[in-house]
Amino acid sequence: MGTASTEAATRKVLYQIQVVVNARNETNKAAKAVRQSLDENRLEIIELALDKAEAGILAWQQSVVQLQHTYSVEESNRQDSLDALKMVSHLKLTQDKVQFDNNFPVAGFLQVPRTREETVLGTTALLRKMFLDDTPEPEAEKPKGPSMIRTR
């Protein structure tokens, strides 16, 4: 009975080894197929990646400009909303019962992140030229206004 158990256990181990070998072979076949597909479609993949990166950069730049504009408008709206209260203080309409400073500064500052889009666009232009033979290069929008907006 001991040798029968040993032989059965050996067969089970050999079977599991064969299962692992077959799984490895199937995995290698699938990996080769994936690699072949990547190689066959590499130019399309590169072009899609470049298009996505360039579109993202342009969207980012437009969003930053919009953020700067929105902040400026909102700060101006805040100042306008305080005009009447500043007038109350300046004209001493509280008859010295309540005195307050009519200056309500905004503490801190809004800092817009600064990125190096030229580096990314240079990389995309190089890849386009080397792999896609495209000549037009995307242009980064020139920053409009300060990259850092300080408040009073």
pLDDT(134) > 90: no
What pLDDT was estimated at residue 112?
78
Share of the chain above pLDDT 90, in %: 59
pLDDT(152) > 50: no
- Note the pLDDT tens digit of each residue in 18-41: 999 999 999 999 999 999 999 999
- Note the pLDDT tens digit of each residue in 60-86: 999 988 988 998 899 899 999 999 999
Average pLDDT, the chain: 86
Supply φ then ψ for residue 134, to 5 degrees: -85, 140
Instruction: Give the C-alpha separation, 9 to 7, whole Å.
Output: 5
pLDDT(149) > 60: no
What's the rounded mean pLDDT across residues 111-131? 88
pTM: 0.63
pLDDT(147) > 60: no
Question: Within 13 Å and on the Cβ side, how many CA atoms surround 20?
Answer: 6
What pLDDT was estimated at residue 137?
55
Number of H helices, E strands in the chain: 4, 2
Distance between start and end Cα atoms, the chain: 92
Instruction: Give the C-alpha separation, 150 to 71, whole Å.
Output: 11
Instruction: Give the C-alpha separation, 23 to 93, whole Å.
Output: 87
- Select from 149, 152, 1, 138 the least CA-distant residue to 71: 149
- Across-strand partners of 150? 109
pLDDT level of residue 105 (50, 70, 90 thresholds) = confident
